Amino acid sequence: MFIGWDWATETHDVTVMDESGKRVDRWEFAHTEEGFATTLARLRKHGAPVNLPVMIETTRGLAVDRLLAAGHPVVPVHPNAFHAMRARWGASKAKTDAGDSMKLADYLRTDGHLLPRLEPTERATMDLQAITRQRADHIEAKVAAVNQLAALLDMHWPGGKAVFANLDSDIAMAFLERYPTPAAAAKLTAGRLEAWCKRHGYSGKKPGSVLIERLRSAPNAASRLSRAVVEQLVHVQVQLVQGIRVTIRTLDKAIAEAVETHPYAPLFATMPRIGKVNLGQIIGEVGPLLERAQTCEQFIAEAGVVPVTRASGKSRTVAFRFATNRRARVALTTFADNSRHGSDWAAKIYSDARARQKRHPHATRILARAWLRVMWACWRDGACYDPITHQANSKINTTADTPQAA
């Protein structure tokens, strides 16, 4: 039996098809607990879940999680790929939920053996992935909040922005909380400012005379808002930035704790310049790719650090790979860029790529590809990273593709 599942936010449509292409069963159900429970029970009437593969146009979400938990093999298909197949069922471009679930079941029946199936990722990896992704979202929120604060200062207090830009982030927030308006900072002198900075742990790279000069030389804002309103706006925005910074520190601590107990962490923890957060990002994003990849080259392609080659006749183009796990690529290229400052082997790969006229992003992806072969070797052998073993002659043996990780 083959199942096609057309999913939506409010209703789902399911079709069950036999090997001859005959529709055996079909129904629609609401996106409720009762609907899911009834549907999974109805599917069990057609056989054991392990023998009932389901094709669906997504790789994540409630429907996918419930199907995997019930024991069904899940075959995801990209909506664009499914759309390209529609011509086989007619050229009218007619579309209904019932028709789509039937087409998905038929596509699974004829081509399902060529498509990969989802494998449940280890819970520890999923937990780490969720924490690191939330941290990335909070980093974006912090950047947006800081930019909003800078725009607010630029409009109402350019002098505060000038000092803010030259202080450490923690000290800058404390400064703006204490001196949110030009009137609040009117009595500041170079000595007072320097003493205040020292009390808050300022590194002292800029003396108080320089900071006060930047404060005084900045143009005066022609703000038509009252002093009280400007003070309130700055205070609220500073509180927002500080609140996000607190959540980021909390997530950093959670990532460090999760990495300490994760079974994959010892494999990669000794790699050069890989911090706790970046290690957590790599385990959370690259771990699922390692678990489902069959070969090293498939693993590298899914990570998105190799280009796409299109060749037909005399035409041949090599282009940037857009269809990939973007978060995994960002985590890998961040590590690769850091690693070249702590590893002569990595630095040579990067410098050789630059010598071949590759731009920095391209050279970083080339280095990331080399590191992925190292990661694959560690995963395959269940061995922790060792520079002597995994960088011999700048080559990594990838012939044996049976992973034996702990």
Structure confidence by residue, pLDDT tens digits, 186-199:
888 888 888 888 88
- In a domain? residue 216: yes
What's 247's domain CATH number? Answer: 1.10.287
DSSP string, 163-213: HHTTS-HHHHHHHHHH--STTTTTT--HHHHHHHHHHTT---SS-HHHHHH
- In a domain? residue 405: no
Among 149, 152, 159, 165, smallest CA distance to 242 is for 149
pLDDT digit string (tens) for 45-78? 998 999 999 999 988 788 888 998 888 999 998 8
**Are 59 and 167 in the same domain?**
no
- Low-confidence stretches of the chain (pLDDT < 70) are 93, 204, 392-406
Structurally, how many domains does the chain consist of?
A: 3
Q: How far is it, in rounded angstroms, from Cα 385 to Cα 122?
A: 21
C-alpha 314, offset from chain centre: 38
Domain final residue pick, 256, 281, 309? 256
pTM of the full structure = 0.78
Q: Return the pLDDT at 405.
A: 46
**Are 105 and 146 in the same domain?**
no
Residue with tokens 């389901």: 54
CA distances from 367 to 271, 275, 313, 319 (A): 14, 18, 31, 18
**Are 209 and 313 in the same domain?**
no
**Are 318 and 301 in the same domain?**
yes
**Are 135 and 99 in the same domain?**
no
Domain of residue 278 covers 265-394
**Are 288 and 205 in the same domain?**
no
